[in-house]
Chain A
Amino acid sequence: MAEPILRLENISKSFRRPGHAPVQAVDNVSLEVGRGETVALVGESGSGKSTLGRIALGLLAPDSGRVVLEGKVLRELSASELRQARIAMQPIFQDASSSLNPRRSARELMAQALPEAKGSVDEQAARLLDRVGLSPGRDYLARFPHEISGGQRQRLAIARALAMNPKLIIADEPLSGADVSIRGQVLNLLLDIKEERGVAYLMITHDISIARHFADRVAVMQRGVIVETGPAAQVLTSPSHPYTRELVAAVPVLAAPEAASIYR
C-alpha cells in the first residue's frame, strides 16, 4: 500500500490540571488517512478527537507516539522544516469568527496564504473566493470577518485553506459554527473540493450523519480510544462496538409517513 498522507502512530496525550487527576485525552491511538481519502473521526465531546486533531496538525506535542506526514516524522523535523512540511495540511476550525484574525480584511487574510510570486494577489484571492461561493470575490476583499455572516466566514476560512494547496484538510466540526440552513451548502462545498482537487480529509465531528454523507472511512473514538474503525458503510450500518451502536441509534431518523401522521 502506498504511503498514506498522514499516519498517527500510538499517540497518547494526557492533560494535568492542578488539584485534579490527569486526564488521558488520547490513549495509544493509531490512525491513517490515505491520499485523497476522507476519514471521519466520530465521537462525542470530550472523547479526545479534537486533541487528536491538534496533535495531527503539529500544534500540540503528544506525550508519546509519532505523527508522520508524507513519510516525515513531525517531531524529528527542525523548526523550519516543520514550517515547510505542515503547509501540506490545513485546518478548518469550528468557529471561523475565532479562526480569522478580526483585524485583517479578507484581502489580507488571503494574502497571508497566497504565494506572492504567482501573479496578482487580488486576482488569485478573488478567484478562490468565487470558488467557495463568495461571489463576486472581488467585492469581498475589503470586508472584515465581522462584516460577513457566519457561513460566509467559514467559506472565507475554507478559501484561505485552499490557497495553500493542501493535500490534507483537517476539519474540526466545520459545520457547527454555521447556521443549520447553510450547513448543507458548506458540506457540499467541501465535497466538491474533494472531487476537484483530490484533497484528503480528516473530518472531526460528533455528527454521525455528516460522517455518513462524507466519509470513506470512519473511526469512532470514545474516552481517548478508537473503539472501531472501518469503511463508512460498514461501520454505520452494522456497527460492531456497542458505543458505535449507541451513536448510530442516537441519530434521529424521521420516518416520513409516521412523522406526518402526528399532524394529521
Chain B
Amino acid sequence: MPRFLQRFLAYRAGLAAGAYVALLALVALVTLVLPGVDPHQITDHAMVAPSAAHLLGTDELGRDMLTGILYGTQVSLAVGVSAALGATLLGVLLGAASGFYGGWLDLAVMRIAEMFQVVPSFILAAVIVALSGTGLTQVVLVIMLLAWPQIARITRGEVLRVKQLEFVDAVRCLGKREWEILAAEVVPNAMAPVLAAGTLVVAQAILLEASLSFLGLSSADIVSWGRMLNAGQRFLFNAWWMSVFPGLAIFLTVLAFNLLGDAVGSALNPRTVTR
C-alpha cells in the first residue's frame, strides 16, 4: 500500500507540476503579445508594500513587482527550454554515436564530456558570460555547453543497452545500414530516460540563468527574476517583497521542472507503461 501511495503522490505532483508549467507558458505568451504594459514603467510609488493596488508591492523605482515577475517568465522559459533543447540534441547526437560506434569516437566524446563535468559549472559559466557578453544567446549557449555531457552520458548508456538486444541484429540481417539502425531502431528505444533528464536540464538552466542575472551578468534591459532578486537583496530589511517574490518564482519553477522530469521518467519507464 505505501508503494501505491508513493506512486499516486508522485503522479499527482507531476500533474500539478505540469499544470504549473502550462500556466507559465501561458503567462509568457500573454505577456509577449499583450500591448500597452511596460514592466519597466517607473512610478512615484517606490517600495510600496503589497497592497490591493500592487499585489506584490513595488521596487525601489516604483515598478510593479507582479508585472515584473509575469514578464520575467518569458526569459526564464525561453532560456530554460531552448538551452535544454540544444543540450539534449547535442547530447543525444554525441552520446548515441559514442555508444553505438564505440572505439576512438567513444573515447574522445567521453573524455570531452568529463572535461566539462569536472569544471565547476557555475564558475565556468560566469567566466564565459563575463568575457563574451551578457546577451541571452550567450547564456543559452553556455548552459548548452555545460549540460550536454549529462545527456550524452545517459544516451550512451541506454544505447549500449539497446544495441545488444536481438532485434537490432534481426534488423541488421535485413540489410539495413548501420546509421539507419542507430537512428530508427536504437535511439527511439533509448529515449525515455533522456527525455526525463532533458526536462531536468530546463530546471538547471533556469537556475543558472537566475544565478548569472543575480550576479549582474545579464543585460539590464531584460526583465528577469534573477535581476529582480539582485535589486531586492540591497533592500532585504526594508522591502522583503522585492526578494521573496522573485525568489519564490524561481523556486517554484525549478521545483516544477524537477517534478515534471521525475514524472516523465517514471511515466516513460517501460515497466510502468502499457501502450
Chain A residues with CB under 8 Å of chain B are 54, 57, 59, 79, 83-84, 86-87, 89-91, 93, 95, 98-103, 112-113, 144, 146-147, 157, 160, 164
B contact residues around A160 at 8 Å (CB): 170
A9 to B: closest C-beta gap in Å: 21
B contact residues around A157 at 8 Å (CB): 170
Decide: B189 and A102 in contact? CB cutoff 8 A: yes
Query: Which 6 A-B residue pairings sit nearest by Cβ, starting from the closest?
Result: A99-B166, A83-B175, A87-B175, A98-B166, A101-B167, A93-B166
- Provide the B168-185 mask, 1 if CB < 8 A to any CB of A, else 0: 011111111110000001
B76 to A: closest C-beta gap in Å: 34
CA distance A55 to B177 in the complex (A): 19
CA distance A89 to B172 in the complex (A): 11
B104 to A: closest C-beta gap in Å: 18
The 8 Å CB contact of B175, one of A54, A84, A146, is: A84
CA distance A54 to B170 in the complex (A): 11
Decide: B173 and A99 in contact? CB cutoff 8 A: no
The 8 Å CB contact of A112, one of B166, B174, B177, is: B174
B112 interface residue (CB < 8 Å to A): no
Q: Would you mind naming 15 contact pairs between A and B with Cβ atoms under 8 Å apart?
A: A59-B169, A86-B172, A86-B175, A91-B169, A91-B173, A93-B166, A93-B169, A98-B166, A99-B169, A101-B171, A101-B185, A103-B188, A112-B174, A113-B174, A157-B170
Q: Given A83-B176, A83-B177, is A101 in contact with B169 using a C-beta cutoff of 8 Å?
A: no
Decide: A87 and B173 in contact? CB cutoff 8 A: yes
By size class, the interface of chain B is 10 to 19
Decide: B170 and A93 in contact? CB cutoff 8 A: yes
Closest residue to A60 on the B side, CB-wise? B169
Closest residue to A108 on the B side, CB-wise? B184
B contact residues around A101 at 8 Å (CB): 167, 171, 185, 189
B contact residues around A147 at 8 Å (CB): 275
B169 to A: closest C-beta gap in Å: 5
CA distance A99 to B166 in the complex (A): 5
CA distance A147 to B275 in the complex (A): 9
CA distance A115 to B1 in the complex (A): 52
A87 to B: closest C-beta gap in Å: 4
B137 to A: closest C-beta gap in Å: 36
CA distance A163 to B173 in the complex (A): 12
B194 to A: closest C-beta gap in Å: 15
Decide: B173 and A86 in contact? CB cutoff 8 A: yes
B contact residues around A146 at 8 Å (CB): 275
Given A102-B189, A146-B275, A147-B275; 7 other pairs, CB 8 A cutoff: A79-B178, A86-B173, A87-B173, A90-B173, A100-B167, A157-B170, A160-B170
A258 to B: closest C-beta gap in Å: 42
Which of B173, B175, B177, B185: most chain A CB closer than 10 A?
A: B173
B192 to A: closest C-beta gap in Å: 11
- Provide the B182-204 mask, 1 if CB < 8 A to any CB of A, else 0: 00010011000000000000000
Decide: A57 and B169 in contact? CB cutoff 8 A: yes
Decide: A57 and B173 in contact? CB cutoff 8 A: yes
B165 interface residue (CB < 8 Å to A): yes
Within 8 A of A (CB), among B28-68: none
CA distance A86 to B177 in the complex (A): 12
Decide: B170 and A99 in contact? CB cutoff 8 A: yes
A248 to B: closest C-beta gap in Å: 30
B contact residues around A89 at 8 Å (CB): 173
Q: Given A102-B189, A146-B275, is A91 in contact with B170 using a C-beta cutoff of 8 Å?
A: yes
B contact residues around A83 at 8 Å (CB): 175-177
Closest residue to B191 on the A side, CB-wise? A103
A contact residues around B173 at 8 Å (CB): 57, 59, 86-87, 89-91, 164
Closest residue to A85 on the B side, CB-wise? B175
B178 to A: closest C-beta gap in Å: 8
Closest residue to A157 on the B side, CB-wise? B170
Within 8 A of A (CB), among B124-176: 165-167, 169-176
B150 to A: closest C-beta gap in Å: 25
A contact residues around B185 at 8 Å (CB): 101
B contact residues around A103 at 8 Å (CB): 188-189
A contact residues around B176 at 8 Å (CB): 83, 112
B172 to A: closest C-beta gap in Å: 7
B contact residues around A87 at 8 Å (CB): 173-175
A contact residues around B177 at 8 Å (CB): 83
The 8 Å CB contact of B166, one of A79, A90, A95, is: A95
Closest residue to B172 on the A side, CB-wise? A59
Closest residue to B178 on the A side, CB-wise? A79
A100 to B: closest C-beta gap in Å: 6
Closest residue to B170 on the A side, CB-wise? A99
CA distance A179 to B165 in the complex (A): 22
